[in-house]
């Protein structure tokens, strides 16, 4: 088994609060892996640790076997680890064309070109067009992102992440806040992500998790509770206890 | 219609569109040259406007594009001014264009060295750090008055002819056209840069640094680069000041110079390169206008104008001012289309 992403004994404290405890995650190459857990379980912290926004107090992170624990955020992206945000993080003043264009330029090593005008490389234009088409954004490519409908912004959020050509993609609640009418588009996009991209899905919505994931890790109070295939996790008494609230409160500290 | 265009060609077309020259831009530069030809008695003030314009263009590069606020941009202006002044005074580099370049580079070195302090913080920290650096430079210039001439400044700068051909004259004619040329070249360079992938990445960083780094943009490196570039521009503006006025004294580093610059840029608008140039014109005209009406209180009125602009918002003001011209253009276009012209 080859691991696309691996954490070994990851720890993160904020003051006296342990938000990530001895977390060892194994995400196999090509997997559709979901990371679930109740509110306050520390899911977003894990994403921030994986992407480099936060530095762990101890432990290691390996991307395709290479240690990236101390690699800066942007270099992790160039090495193939990309993410989407739970709350859209886009450029309000820039158009989808420019947004995707930037991601493609950086990925291909031409992001620092200061003498070349945008739009003058056919290979980059091709790739931008391909990404815009795949996410149904061609018709709005010249609108400032801030004026797009929420569903389109959500698609752009995923499109940007894909435009960096990740080997591992972290999806942070991709359908969060999307109105029912546009939800279908998002789910279709998520379901049709390229198979060679390993996906780690962080999600609240159990329907989405169980229809999508082939492996699930359950995070509770910053520590790994259970890991396994969906049917096994669904039957697990500990998981049931957490989700149905049967566990005594004393065992679930910072919720 | 021109038959089939592939999505890729379409993407290329629209990506290049923002970099295309607009009719308004051509008009702007023609008017600027026209002013030089029409008002030969006003060379000195027009040269000053060009210099402020170039200085404000420098601030626009960091504030308008990368979102770095600065209250100490005079630090680089001052280094450029003293460098150009000293080079001319001691005859180290006699030829003005070359000396100007050296002055710009000297400021760029300071810009690069201090950029690491500036990019660390957020807005308030940046304001204080930039302000502090400018004050530091002013104090240093005062301390080493044997080199800088202290409060008296550098005395007796004599300029050699530009490129060995054009002598500086008493009326400031050479100085004006020299400044036009420098401004135009620097503007072209800035224009090229902001429409490149590098320039676009700066706008991305200003919009959302978190997302910028999440698509692989090396945020800090880009900010260091643009801060250094802006320092180069400010240094050249300062050098131009020393060369055209044959003067450099402590006030090149003054806080007022940095503060006025922010005012100029806000008057003209940030993030489209012309803001600094237009702001410089508006600032100078307002200053002249108000100081003839109320010599003592002109700053009050400029302040009032500034507050009004900021509160009402530039977009709304622009809509009001452009209301009639836009309608006229639309009517014109319509009548043209009805005239049966194929487009």
Q: Is the pLDDT of residue A255 over 70?
A: no
What are phi and psi for residue A108, nearest 5 degrees?
-90, 5
Cβ-proximal residues to B34 (8 Å cutoff; 6+ apart), any chain: none
Q: So what's the pLDDT on residue B341?
A: 44
- From the CA atom positions of chain B, what is the Rg in Å? 22
Domain of residue B53: give its range: 24-256
Q: Is the pLDDT of residue B274 over 90?
A: yes
Question: Residues 130..169 of A with a Cβ closer than 8 Å to B: which?
Answer: 130, 132-133, 138, 141-142, 160-161, 163-164
Segment B121-144 mean pLDDT:
93
Which band of pLDDT confidence, cut at 50, 70 and 90, is reported for residue B338? low
DSSP string, B71-123: S-THHHHHHHHHHHHHHHHTTSS-SHHHHHHHHHHHHHHHHHHHHHHHTTS-H
Give SS3 for A143.
coil
Residues B82 and B242: beta-carbon distance below 8 Å:
yes
Q: Is the pLDDT of residue A250 over 70?
A: no
Nearest residue, CB atoms, B15 vs list A53, A97, A133: A97
Residue A46 has a CB neighbour count (10 Å cut-off) of 27
Q: Is the pLDDT of residue A69 over 50?
A: yes
Alpha-carbon span B235 to B246, nearest angstrom = 16
Instruction: Copy the structure tokens of residue A197.
Output: 């991209």
Number of domains in chain B: 1
What are phi and psi for residue B342, nearest 5 degrees?
-80, 135
Instruction: Copy the structure tokens of residue B62.
Output: 């960091």
Q: What is the pLDDT of residues B82-96, one digit of tens each?
A: 999 999 999 899 899
Residue of B216, B253, B50, B281 whose CA lies nearest to B139: B253
Percent of chain A with pLDDT over 70: 95
Alpha-carbon span B2 to A251, nearest angstrom = 69
Q: So what's the pLDDT on residue A208?
A: 87
Segment B20-25 mean pLDDT:
92
Q: Is the pLDDT of residue A224 over 50?
A: yes
For testing the chain A interface, which of B215, B221, B226 should be mutated: the one with the most A CBs within 10 Å? B215
Q: So what's the pLDDT on residue A2?
A: 87
Q: Which chain A residues touch B213 with a CB distance below 8 Å?
A: 72-74, 77
Which band of pLDDT confidence, cut at 50, 70 and 90, is reported for residue A206? confident
Q: Is A111 on the interface with B (CB under 8 A)?
A: yes
Q: What is the pLDDT of residues B170-183, one digit of tens each?
A: 889 999 999 999 99
Q: Is the pLDDT of residue A253 over 90?
A: no
**Residue B324 counted as domain residue:** no
Q: Which chain B residues touch A53 with a CB distance below 8 Å?
A: 210
- From the CA atom positions of chain A, what is the Rg in Å? 19
Please return the burial class of A125, using the count of CB atoms within 10 Å of its CB with bins 0-12, 13-18 and 19+. buried
Give SS3 for A160.
helix
Q: Is the pLDDT of residue B32 over 80?
A: yes
Which band of pLDDT confidence, cut at 50, 70 and 90, is reported for residue A254? very low
Cβ–Cβ below 8 Å for A111 and B19: no
**Residue B219 counted as domain residue:** yes
Residue of B97, B342, B184, B204 whose CA lies nearest to A160: B204
Q: So what's the pLDDT on residue B301?
A: 86
Q: What is the pLDDT of residues B171-230, one digit of tens each?
A: 899 999 999 999 999 999 999 999 999 999 999 999 999 999 999 999 999 999 999 999
Domain boundaries, chain A: 3-89+166-251
Q: Is the pLDDT of residue A38 over 90?
A: no
Which of residues A168 and B151 earns the better pLDDT score?
A168
Q: Which chain A residues touch B211 with a CB distance below 8 Å?
A: 85, 89-91, 160
What residue of B is the nearest CA neighbor of A170? B214
For testing the chain B interface, which of A63, A111, A163 should be mutated: the one with the most B CBs within 10 Å? A111
Nearest residue, CB atoms, A116 vs list B10, B196, B219: B196
Q: So what's the pLDDT on residue B229?
A: 98
Which band of pLDDT confidence, cut at 50, 70 and 90, is reported for residue A244? low
Query: What distance in Å separates residue B186's CA from the closest CA in chain A?
Result: 14
Q: So what's the pLDDT on residue A199?
A: 96
DSSP string, B274-343: HHHHHHHHHHHHHHHHHHHH-TTTHHHHHHHHHHHHHHH-HHHHHHHHTHHHHHHHHHHHHHHHHTT---
Q: Is the pLDDT of residue A137 over 50?
A: yes
Q: Is A106 on the interface with B (CB under 8 A)?
A: yes
Residue A87 has a CB neighbour count (10 Å cut-off) of 9
* Fold type of domain A3-89+166-251: Rossmann fold (3.40.50)
Alpha-carbon span A6 to B135, nearest angstrom = 50
What residue of A is the nearest CA neighbor of B204? A91
Q: Is the pLDDT of residue A240 over 80?
A: yes
Q: So what's the pLDDT on residue A1?
A: 62
**Residue B168 counted as domain residue:** yes
Q: What is the ipTM of this complex?
A: 0.89
Cβ–Cβ below 8 Å for A125 and B210: no
Query: What distance in Å separates residue A73's CA from the closest CA in chain B?
Result: 6
Percent of chain B with pLDDT over 70: 97
Q: So what's the pLDDT on residue A165?
A: 94
Q: Is A102 on the interface with B (CB under 8 A)?
A: yes
| Average confidence score pLDDT of chain B | 91
Alpha-carbon span A62 to A4, nearest angstrom = 8
| Average confidence score pLDDT of chain A | 91
CA distances B340 to B328, B334, B336, B337, B343, Å, are: 19, 10, 7, 6, 9
Which band of pLDDT confidence, cut at 50, 70 and 90, is reported for residue B295? confident
Q: Is A91 on the interface with B (CB under 8 A)?
A: yes
């Amino acid at each position: 088994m080859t691991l696309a992403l691996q954490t070994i004994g990851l720890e993160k404290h904020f003051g006296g609060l342990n938000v990530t405890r001895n977390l060892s995650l194994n995400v196999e190459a090509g997997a559709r892996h979901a990371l679930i857990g109740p509110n306050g379980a520390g899911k977003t912290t894990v994403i921030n640790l994986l992407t480099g926004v936060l530095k762990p107090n101890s432990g290691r992170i390996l991307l395709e076997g290479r240690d990236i624990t101390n690699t800066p955020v942007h270099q992790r992206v160039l090495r193939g680890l990309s993410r989407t945000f739970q709350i859209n993080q886009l450029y309000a003043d820039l158009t989808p064309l420019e947004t995707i264009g930037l991601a493609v330029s950086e990925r291909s090593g031409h992001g620092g070109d200061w003498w070349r005008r945008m739009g003058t490389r056919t290979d980059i234009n091709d790739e931008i067009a391909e990404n815009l088409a795949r996410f149904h954004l061609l018709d709005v490519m010249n609108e400032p992102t801030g004026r797009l409908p929420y569903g389109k912004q959500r698609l752009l959020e995923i499109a940007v992440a894909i435009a960096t050509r990740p080997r591992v993609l972290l999806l942070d609640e991709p359908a969060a806040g999307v109105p029912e009418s546009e939800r279908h588009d998002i789910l279709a996009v998520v379901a049709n992500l390229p198979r060679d991209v390993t996906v780690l899905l962080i999600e609240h919505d159990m329907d989405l998790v169980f229809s999508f994931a082939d492996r699930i890790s359950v995070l509770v109070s910053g520590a790994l509770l259970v890991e396994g295939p969906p049917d096994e996790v669904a039957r697990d008494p500990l998981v049931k206890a957490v989700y149905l609230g049967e566990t005594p409160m004393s065992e679930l500290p910072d919720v | 219609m021109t038959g089939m265009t592939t999505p890729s060609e379409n993407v290329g077309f629209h990506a290049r569109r923002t970099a295309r020259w607009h009719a308004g831009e051509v008009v702007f530069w023609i008017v600027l040259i026209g002013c030089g030809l029409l008002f030969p008695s006003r060379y000195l003030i027009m040269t000053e406007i060009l210099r402020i314009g170039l200085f404000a263009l420098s601030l626009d590069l960091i504030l308008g594009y990368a979102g770095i606020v600065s209250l100490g941009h005079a630090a680089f202006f001052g280094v450029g001014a003293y460098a150009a002044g000293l080079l001319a005074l001691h005859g180290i580099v006699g030829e003005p264009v070359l000396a100007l370049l050296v002055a710009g580079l000297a400021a760029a070195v300071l810009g690069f060295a201090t950029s690491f302090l500036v990019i660390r913080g957020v807005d308030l920290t940046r304001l204080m750090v930039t302000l502090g650096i400018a004050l530091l430079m002013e104090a240093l210039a005062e301390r080493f008055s044997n080199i800088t001439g202290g409060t008296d400044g550098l005395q007796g700068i004599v300029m050699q002819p530009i490129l060995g051909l054009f002598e500086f004259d008493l009326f400031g004619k050479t100085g004006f056209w020299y400044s036009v040329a420098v401004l135009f070249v620097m503007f072209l360079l800035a224009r090229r840069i902001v429409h490149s992938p590098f320039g676009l990445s700066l706008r991305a960083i200003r919009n959302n640094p978190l997302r910028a780094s999440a698509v692989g943009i090396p945020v800090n490196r880009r900010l260091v680069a643009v801060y250094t570039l802006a320092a180069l521009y400010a240094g050249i503006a300062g050098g131009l000041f020393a060369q055209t006025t044959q003067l450099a004294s402590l006030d090149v580093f003054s806080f007022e110079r940095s503060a006025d610059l922010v005012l100029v840029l806000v008057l003209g608008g940030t993030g489209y390169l012309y803001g600094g140039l237009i702001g410089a014109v508006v600032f100078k005209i307002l200053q002249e206008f108000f100081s003839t009406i109320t010599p003592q209180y002109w700053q009050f009125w400029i302040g009032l104008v500034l507050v009004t602009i900021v509160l009402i918002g530039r977009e709304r003001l622009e809509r009001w001012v452009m209301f009639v011209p836009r309608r006229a253009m639309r009517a014109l276009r319509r009548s043209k289309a009805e005239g049966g012209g194929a487009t």
